[in-house]
Structure 1
């Protein structure tokens, strides 16, 4: 029993220490993302920079890009936002550098999904927003079905293949709100939130270690007294 209790205490302490390490990582991640959100926009990564794009250093960077929208290739991705269920409007933006990038122009409700319901600005457009990493395959238990026009995630490669898009960025951009908050699609609805429960988990593991050690101590002491 003493051996089993010692192993249990060590295991629980190890799990507590791991959660403390996770807490430090999550706190640092939140601080870095908040710094990116507060920073001024920088030019969106060009083609030469694409191989180095990664979620850790790049997700939620504030970027800007200029080009022309190709509304003939709009794709609607199912979404649920603070405004209810509906769709993200994904539109490729063709830059003058010869490559395209998918822009999440914003949200439209289910009953306003037709192209005529949303603005379609012509000519060069300056777009600013948050850089997002591609979301391959689909959502939980729901795979993207391009043939049926059903999209559950913003999978850049699948969207580009379905739309016959040429050279394109490996990321997409969540556009900032437009000047008219009543116009569709509604931009700026990106939710940046990270669950951070590692401190409570760590305290739970340490409490379990302490409880096991204390319980084992009392049981062993009682056994010793009975033996005497």
Structure 2
């Protein structure tokens, strides 16, 4: 009984600590998304994972031109219950210091299944120099439940700048940008698809563990009194 109660109290305390961590993370993310866009820096080979993480979910802007001829398609995406794709397009920046170069993958937004072909949304294939605003994202580690990418078919489930860069013949930045909902001609792709919500159930978990510990103590006391 002592060991079980100690374990339950320990788990409850751990969930309280997780609650504080998650609450702080949610507040930081909300502040980043509410801030004005800033210029996305140039990331090089020496950029550390910690430095990349600092840019996750930050609003950014950059100027350049899209490489529409190297479009990629991320599958299994839905909008309001409708199936479709996210359009991923390499973006060559022109707003960098002299001698610097960077191509960033931009997730431009959602299109329905019958608009995968660029010819069906030609108005949205914006030519020339444009300024993109959106949210910087750091690619996540692939979960075991997510199917493998199929590069030979230009069919992707997860964003992998290294493999995608090899596919399109470009060196892509280690972060990508999800375009915001700024209107574009033809209204496709539909930007603003960033999902920033974080589940925060740690308080319920903590209460559950503490309640189990108290229940076990009560059961033990009742048992001892009856004997």
TM-score above 0.5: yes
Q: Deviations over 1:76-132 (max 9, x none)?
A: 111323332111100001113321000011110111111112311111110010001
- Summarize the alignment of residues 199-210 of structure 1 with structure 2, pairs less than 5 Å apart: 199-210=203-214
SS of 1:129 mapped into structure 2? strand
- Summarize the alignment of residues 11-50 of structure 1 with structure 2, pairs less than 5 Å apart: 11-48=7-44
Return the TM-score normalized by structure 1: 0.89
The residue aligned with 1:226 is none
Question: Conserved in 1, the CA contact under 8 Å of 2:79 and 2:110?
Answer: no
Q: CA deviation at 1:49?
A: 9.1
The residue aligned with 1:117 is 120
The residue aligned with 1:87 is 85
Question: Conserved in 1, the CA contact under 8 Å of 2:53 and 2:138?
Answer: no
Question: Conserved in 2, the CA contact under 8 Å of 1:71 and 1:92?
Answer: yes
Of 79-88 and 150-159, deviating more is 79-88
Max Rg structure? 1
The residue aligned with 1:129 is 134
The residue aligned with 1:60 is 57
Question: Conserved in 1, the CA contact under 8 Å of 2:70 and 2:90?
Answer: yes
- Number of equivalent positions: 218
Unaligned runs of 5+ in 2: 95-99
Question: Conserved in 2, the CA contact under 8 Å of 1:12 and 1:209?
Answer: yes
Question: Conserved in 1, the CA contact under 8 Å of 2:78 and 2:85?
Answer: no
In structure 2, relative to structure 1, the CA distance for the partners of 1:95 and 1:75 (3 Å cut) is same
Of 83-92 and 47-56, deviating more is 47-56
Question: Conserved in 2, the CA contact under 8 Å of 1:129 and 1:174?
Answer: yes
Instruction: Extract structure 1 runs of 4+ deviating beyond 6 A.
Output: none
Question: Conserved in 1, the CA contact under 8 Å of 2:43 and 2:174?
Answer: no
| 1:160 and 2:157 aligned | no
